[in-house]
Amino acid sequence: MDYYADAIPEPTTILGVRLRPLSLGHVLLLHRVRSSFVTPDEPLTIHDLALSVLICSLSHRDGLSIFDHKHLDRLFARWHWKLTRPRWIVVGKRRTVDYVAKSAEFAEYIKRHSDIPRYSYNPADFRDSGGPGVQIVKCTLMRDLHIPEAELMDRPWKLCLWDFVTLKVLAGHIRFVDDVALENAMAVADRLADKLKEAK
């Protein structure tokens, strides 16, 4: 994994909307609206894609404020129409929006901004906290890095994960796994598996 690329991610545009880097606050809001992109048991719909894109295009504070909008139904209806109408006008031509492809793009955006750095640990030392992971990360960063909650809500989620894992590494609970060393080990394991198959 590339820490520097994770800390300053490439910009993402989906359905013509520029998304902010996925933040801790976005993760909370997406779970709150039960977005299928973070809640796999929920069915994926066009409405879900439109709402998820809206949330991730805003700061956490602006995302929260839309739920207090006095004409919320009208706001969502306009936004949904803007993003998911069947055809866009592009230089005098009509083209169909591929919802499946756009949903896959958004799912990739979520995955890219949520991959946790590779680490290893002693299974004997493992303790299941039992709480939501996002809450554990949030409270750990507030306690150990003294980041105010309001600031933390707009902090890139991937950077939060790097900080969380790094704190665990510094405390000696886990250690980073070198990606190159891991890939080399997997290649050796694959070669051994092939030799065992040939020997049978």
pLDDT value at residue 69: 75
The amino acid at residue 134 is V
User: Which of 94 and 49 is assigned the larger pLDDT?
Assistant: 49
Reply yes or no on whether the pLDDT at 191 is more than 80. no
Query: Which one, of 122, 181, 128, 153, lies nearest residue 20 by Cα?
Result: 153
**pLDDT for the residue numbered 161:** 92
Domain ranges of the chain: 3-112, 119-199
- Which whole number is the average pLDDT over 112-118? 87
Residue 21 confidence (pLDDT): 95
pLDDT in tens, 38-85: 988 878 888 888 889 999 999 999 998 887 877 777 777 777 777 766
φ/ψ of 58, rounded to 5, equals -115, 160
* Whether the predicted pLDDT of 184 surpasses 80: no
In this structure, the strands spanning 119-120 and 17-19 are unpaired
**Residue 112 confidence (pLDDT):** 92
**pLDDT exceeds cutoff 50 at 173:** yes
Work out the pLDDT band at 145, boundaries 50, 70, 90.
very high
The answer to whether residues 156 and 21 touch, using CB atoms and an 8 Å cutoff, is yes
How does residue 177 score in pLDDT terms, banded at 50, 70 and 90? confident
Q: Which two tokens stand for residue 24?
A: 């801790």
Quote the pTM value. 0.77
pLDDT for residue 98: 80
- pLDDT higher at 115 or 74: 115
Identity of the residue numbered 49: L
48 versus 157: the higher-pLDDT residue is 157
Residue 118 has pLDDT above 90, yes or no: no
